[in-house]
Structure 1
C-alpha cells in the first residue's frame, strides 16, 4: 500500500479538531458509570455538569475544553506499507498546524525559554510524534491525543529499587494521586509505567493514561495490580474536580517492561476527565475515523 501524504495531512488536521470536540464513547460511559455509583451529593452535581458539557459541545459543534493541549500523534505502521518517514512526519506537522490556523484553535505551544507562541501548535519537536509497527498487512493507524496541562503537570517518576517492593510501587502511585488532588480535573485515568529505563517508564505511563477505558494490561500481574490500585485510589475521597466524592478515577491503567536487576522505576501520568482522543485508519479502501 502506497500512503498518500496529502491524505495524511488532511486526516491529522481533522483528528485534532475531532478530538477536541467529541469525547470517545468509553469515556462518556465511564462518567455515567461513576455518576450512577456516586454517593456524594455535590459530586453528583459535578458529574452531571460534566455530562451536560459533553452534550452541549457535541450539539453546538464546539470544544469540550478551552485547553487545546500539547498535540500528540501516535502512529502504527503495518506490513507492506510504503512511505517516506520524513514526509510522514512533515504531513502530520502540517495537518496539526492547519487545524490550529484554519479552524482556528488556541495554540497552547510555546518556546520553553522565551515562552513565544507561534500560534501554530507546532515548534521544536512539537507535535510529539511516536512511531511503532503492527502485524496488520496493509494498514496505518494515526491516533491523536491533545494532552492538557492540568493533567500533564501531574507527572511523576521514581527510580525505585527492588528493596522497595511492590508496596513501594503502590505507595508511590497513591502518593502521586494525592499530590495531584483536584489539579488534574478528576475523575482521571491514572497511567502507571513500571520497569524499563527511565524514559521507557515515563512513556509507558503516558501510553497507559491514554488507553481506552475497559482495556486491560496485557500482563497478568499488571492486570491484577490495575484492579487493586483502582479500588485504592477511589477510596481517597478526592472525587470529581477534587471537591470530594467516590469517583476520583475512572481507572488505573498499567504498562510494564522488564528492567535491570537493581532497578524498579515507576512513573505516573494522568489524563483528565475529558480524556480526548481520535483515530484515523488508512487501508487500501480509504480512511476511516473512530476512537
Structure 2
C-alpha cells in the first residue's frame, strides 16, 4: 500500500509541479523576449504558479502515464511493484484528477482510469543489486504527436542527422506547445532510437551528455533550432 501511495504521489507531482530547472529556464526565456513572446511566457509562468499552489494539473492534457523503472535483480518487491504501478495510476487519476486519456483505438471505449492494455507504459531495465529507481513521465499528446522516426541511409554523415532533427523540430512549429524540450536518440534499430529519444527527456534540463562528441552535437543542435 505504501508503494501505491508513493507512486500515486509521484504521478500527481509530475502533473502539477514543474521541475525547478524548467521554471528557471522559462524565466530566463521570458526575460530575453519582447512583445507577444514575452506575454505568452509570462502567462505560462503564471499558470505554473497557479498549478503548484492549487495542486492542479499544469495542462488539461495530463498525458499518457509513462514509467521508466531500473530495478535490481535482487529487489525483493518486484511483484508488488508490478501490481502497484497500474493501481497508482488509477488512484492518481481519481485524486488529482488526471484526464482519462486511455481510449481503445478501435472501439473508442475509455475505462476512465488511464489503464488498459500496455497502459500505463512501463519500460523495465534490470540492473545489479537490490535498489529500484523509478521515473514518472506524463507524456502529453501534443508532444507525442510530434515524435518522429527518421531512418537514414547507412554511411551518411552527421550532417544528415542534424538536418533531420532541425527540419522536423522547426516544421512542428507550435504543435508540441512550445517552449519545447527536444529528446534525440541516435543509433540502433527504430525501437531503440525512439526509446533513447524519450529517455533523453528524463535528464535535468541543461545537462550535457558525458561523451564530449555527443555534448558538442547537443549544443550545436540547440543553437540551430533556436536560430
- Tell me the TM-score normalised to structure 1 length: 0.74
Give the unaligned 5+ runs of structure 1.
1-5, 236-291
Which residue of 1 is the match for residue 37 of structure 2?
43
Q: Is contact 2:89–2:114 with CA below 8 Å preserved after alignment?
A: yes
Out of 23, 27, 32, the residue aligned to residue 28 of structure 1 is 23
Q: 1:215-254 alignment to 2 at 5 Å?
A: 215-235=207-227
Q: Is contact 2:76–2:130 with CA below 8 Å preserved after alignment?
A: no
Cα deviation for residue 138 of structure 1 reads: 4.6
Which stretch shifts more, 13-22 or 72-81? 72-81
Higher relative contact order (CA 8 A, sep 6+): 1
Distance of 1:104 and 1:115 partners within structure 2: 21
> 3-state SS of the aligned residue for 1:217?
coil
Distance of 2:161 and 2:78 partners within structure 1: 41
Out of 99, 106, 116, the residue aligned to residue 106 of structure 1 is 99
Question: Cα deviation per residue 1:17-65 (whole Å; 9 max; x = unaligned)?
Answer: 1111111111101111212222x32111111111111111112222211
Structure 1's 209 and 103: CA in aligned 2 closer, same or farther, altered over 3 A?
closer
Give the unaligned 5+ runs of structure 2.
none
Q: Is contact 1:101–1:119 with CA below 8 Å preserved after alignment?
A: no
Distance of 1:192 and 1:47 partners within structure 2: 25
Q: Is contact 2:135–2:202 with CA below 8 Å preserved after alignment?
A: no
> 3-state SS of the aligned residue for 2:181?
strand
Distance of 1:22 and 1:102 partners within structure 2: 15
Distance of 2:140 and 2:74 partners within structure 1: 35
Distance of 1:59 and 1:102 partners within structure 2: 16
Q: Is contact 2:102–2:114 with CA below 8 Å preserved after alignment?
A: yes
Q: 1:75-90 alignment to 2 at 5 Å?
A: 75-78=69-72, 80-85=74-79, 87-90=80-83
Q: 1:1-291 alignment to 2 at 5 Å?
A: 6-38=1-33, 40-78=34-72, 80-85=74-79, 87-134=80-127, 138-235=130-227
Q: Is contact 2:66–2:136 with CA below 8 Å preserved after alignment?
A: yes
Bigger fraction of residues in strand: 1
Q: Is contact 2:57–2:98 with CA below 8 Å preserved after alignment?
A: no
> 3-state SS of the aligned residue for 1:54?
helix
Distance of 2:83 and 2:75 partners within structure 1: 17
Question: Cα deviation per residue 1:154-188 (whole Å; 9 max; x = unaligned)?
Answer: 01111112333111101100111122110011111
Bigger fraction of residues in helix: 2
Distance of 1:208 and 1:103 partners within structure 2: 27
